[in-house]
């Protein structure tokens, strides 16, 4: 069963049709919308500030989402995919964002809508990734703009496919559906 822990009396909450893997961890002030999936070994730690997650968000295996005490919360929009092993820390991801495997996004960064953070990229503190941009590298810089093929073929496709993948799993741990 997933680890769901309250912190200072605040317990994570989520909407309808969410998949939370057996060994995922959610703690504290975490509020998640509908049709989300939290995959194996993901940690969403709302202990030192709040974490808000929209609808149709997939947080893949080994992702860590955390904040900075009293300073930098996490806000994630709708239709967002955060790939395996990424670190999301005290930042904002707008709608239709794809974060690649192993990417790191630091405090105060803002990833505007319809954007991609490439695998392994490091988005430095307070960086703003403008709408429709692809950022890559360490530190990350804009390498191109998002075209319709990338928007539809990757950003939207991945966000939508993760609901299908979640539906393949048996719902043996009914407790994770209770809040």
Task: List, as one string, the DSSP characters of 5-45.
Answer: E-BTTB--EE-SS-EE-TT-EEEEEEEE-SS-EE-TT-EEE
Q: 3-169: which CATH architecture?
A: 3 Solenoid (2.160)
Report residue 22: phi and psi, to 5°.
-55, -35
Q: Can you give the length of the chain in residues? A: 179
Q: What is the pLDDT of residue 172?
A: 60
Going from N- to C-terminal start, the domains of the chain cover: 3-169
- pLDDT for 120-167, tens place per residue? 999 999 999 999 999 999 999 999 999 999 999 999 999 999 999 999
Distance CA 143, CA 122 (A): 13
In this structure, are residues 115 and 132 in contact, taking their beta carbons and an 8 Å threshold? yes
pTM exceeding 0.75: yes
Give every residue of the chain whose pLDDT is below 50, as ranges.
174-179
Distance CA 111, CA 101 (A): 16
């Amino acid at each position: 069963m997933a680890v769901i822990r309250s912190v200072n009396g605040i317990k994570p909450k989520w909407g309808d049709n969410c998949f939370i893997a057996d060994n995922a961890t959610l703690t504290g002030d975490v509020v998640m919308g509908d049709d989300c999936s939290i995959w194996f070994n993901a940690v969403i730690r709302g202990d030192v500030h709040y974490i808000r997650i929209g609808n149709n968000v997939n947080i893949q295996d080994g992702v860590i989402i955390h904040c900075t005490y009293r300073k930098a919360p996490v806000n994630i929009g709708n239709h967002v995919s955060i790939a395996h092993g990424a670190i999301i820390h005290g930042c904002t991801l707008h709608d239709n964002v794809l974060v690649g495997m192993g990417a790191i996004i630091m405090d105060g960064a803002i990833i505007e809508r319809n954007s991609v953070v490439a695998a392994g990229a490091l988005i430095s503190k307070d960086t703003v990734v403008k709408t429709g941009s692809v950022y890559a590298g360490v530190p990350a810089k804009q390498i191109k703009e998002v075209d319709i093929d990338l928007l539809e073929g990757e950003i939207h496709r991945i966000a939508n496919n993760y609901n299908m993948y979640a539906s393949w799993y048996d719902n043996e741990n009914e407790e994770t559906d209770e809040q």
